[in-house]
Amino acid sequence: MQLGANFFYKYRRFVKWLSLYLTLAGPGIIVMVADNDAGGITTYAATGAKFGFNLIWFIILLGPAAFAVQEMCVRLGAVTKRGHAEAIFDAFGPFWGWFSLMDLGFLDFLTLISEFVGMTAAMSVFGVPPVVTVIAVCILMMLIVMHGRYWTWEKLVLLFCGLNLIYIPATLLLHPDFGAIQRSFVPSFPNGLTPEIFFFLMANIGTTIAPWMLFFHQSSVVDKGLTEKDIPFARWDTLIGSFFVVLVAAFVMILTGTLLYKPPNGIDIGNAAQAAHAIIGSYPLVGAALAIGLFDAGLLGAICISLASSWAMGEVFGWAHSINNKISEAPMFYAYYILSLIVAGTVVLIPGAPLVLITLFVQVIAVTLLPAALVFLILLLNQEELMGKYKNTFLQNVIGLSIVTMIVVLSTLYAISVLFPEMFHQ
């Protein structure tokens, strides 16, 4: 009888915890899944086509690193009730504030263009002209934010996050070699640490931890109204999100690794849509899933990136900047959001626009902002006056600093390799 009562009590407690978690969940899952944006999916697809399953272990290692960084954003947002841009202005003054804001605005705009490139390329697999894709995406993205309720926006975006899992059934249709996948969990470099493998490792880091994620996550925590007592739930949210980011990335690698990888050297693919085109002839369902997933990834990335900038601008310029506001209540916030979408979409439609150059340039500009944003994050998290009992512990600092150092060094090398490709290609 006592055992039954205990079980019932624990069950009720778990149900209560779960219902509370489901209410508070959102920002962590969204930011992490949106991290697998069009650029991310392309990088994972290219890695799978080039190295098969051999680098899956590396993507698994990136999950905890992304979690550690984003967890700090959650704490900072929940404690200070400020977005990352405003927090930088407040703590470091106008010089670093303007530097971060301008860099973020410019970088997000370029990244937004690359998301549109991904979406139009994905829809071209189904014969949809780019102009139709751009117009449809702009209308869809306006409709998603304009009803004036954060809750509705979040649940709609979570639906798109669910669609990101399309790579899992698509890959399972191919009956991949699970024995080989299991063996790939052990870190190894089949042909040694060649400059080419090093380039791909850096590219994977560059796509897994991006500057907009810090700004977006912190601002969405604030917009959702999470407080100190919600931090444990927000941590779970981020942890589950980091699990999904790794899961999707690994399945994309398995998909292209199964279909396109030819040992020992693999093949080079320019983008995920190119892979979808190559696959759709022999595996229509899998090719279509790859294209749908790429479109969804671009859409999620575009939603989060345009909001990250709009939130940051709103925080600094003092505009009303909540998704809970109607258009009439926050006209500048929505104007910035819509204008950035329309301009980025239009750039993609300009004949002869240097889209490849823009995509490469994103990686270089990201490196000017990422180290600064990460260093600011660590410094802010160590301020007792600001964070109180939520400041970083010694262990969190050791982990955080190690990850930040690794990210800064490797992403800088990646930017250099983008500028001087001959250094990393044989």
Partner 1 sequence: MSIEDEYNEYGDISEGSLLGRTFKRWTAKIKEINKKYSQPRLKMTPLVKVSLLVLRLYLIMLVIILVYKFYTVVSFR
Tell me the C-alpha distance between 345 and 298, whole Å.
12
- x/- track of binding to partner 1 for residues 402-421 (CB under 8 A): ----------x--xx--xx-
Tell me the C-alpha distance between 389 and 249, whole Å.
35
Cβ atoms within 10 Å of 25's Cβ, excluding its own: 21
Q: Is 372 in the site for partner 1 (CB under 8 A)?
A: yes
* Min dist. Cβ of residue 43 to partner 1 (A): 22
Amino acid at 383: Q
* Min dist. Cβ of residue 99 to partner 1 (A): 8
Angle subtended at Cα 315 by Cα 77 and Cα 333, rounded to the nearest 5 degrees: 120
Angle subtended at Cα 10 by Cα 7 and Cα 15, rounded to the nearest 5 degrees: 120
The burial of 328, by beta-carbon neighbours within 10 Å (0-12 exposed, 13-18 middle, 19 or more buried), is given as exposed
Q: Which stretch binds partner 1 (CB under 8 A): 41-49, 57-65, 94-102, 160-168?
A: 94-102
Q: Which stretch binds partner 1 (CB under 8 A): 63-71, 90-98, 178-186, 194-202?
A: 90-98
* Min dist. Cβ of residue 226 to partner 1 (A): 22
Query: What 3 state SS string does 268-296 have?
Result: CCCCHHHHHHHHHCCCHHHHHHHHHHHHH
Q: Which residue's CB is nearer to partner 1, number 197 or number 369? A: 369
Q: Is 386 in the site for partner 1 (CB under 8 A)?
A: yes
What's 228's DSSP letter? Answer: G
From 50, 114, 100, 115, select the one nearest 298 (Cα to Cα).
115
Cβ atoms within 10 Å of 352's Cβ, excluding its own: 5
Can you tell me which of 180, 379, 387, 399 binds partner 1, judged by CB under 8 A? 379
User: Are 387 and 76 spatial neighbours (Cβ–Cβ below 8 Å)?
Assistant: yes
* Structural tokens at position 416: 């250099």
* Min dist. Cβ of residue 321 to partner 1 (A): 14
Exposure string for 356-376, b = 16+ CB within 10 A, e = fewer = eebbebbbebbbebbbbbbeb
Q: Which residue's CB is nearer to partner 1, number 45 or number 372? A: 372
Report helix, strand or coil for 1: coil
* Min dist. Cβ of residue 327 to partner 1 (A): 21
Can you tell me which of 78, 371, 381, 403 binds partner 1, judged by CB under 8 A? 371
- x/- track of binding to partner 1 for residues 278-317 (CB under 8 A): --------------------------------------xx
Q: Is 332 in the site for partner 1 (CB under 8 A)?
A: no
Q: Which residue's CB is nearer to partner 1, number 34 or number 370? A: 370
* Structural tokens at position 407: 């990210």
Q: Is 89 in the site for partner 1 (CB under 8 A)?
A: yes
Q: Is 91 in the site for partner 1 (CB under 8 A)?
A: yes
* Min dist. Cβ of residue 96 to partner 1 (A): 8
Q: Is 109 in the site for partner 1 (CB under 8 A)?
A: no
Q: Is 94 in the site for partner 1 (CB under 8 A)?
A: yes
Tell me the C-alpha distance between 359 and 120, whole Å.
14
Q: Which residue's CB is nearer to partner 1, number 294 or number 415? A: 415
Q: Which residues make up the interface to partner 1 (CB under 8 A)?
A: 89-94, 96-97, 316-318, 364, 367-368, 371-372, 375, 379-380, 383, 385-386, 412, 415-416, 419-420
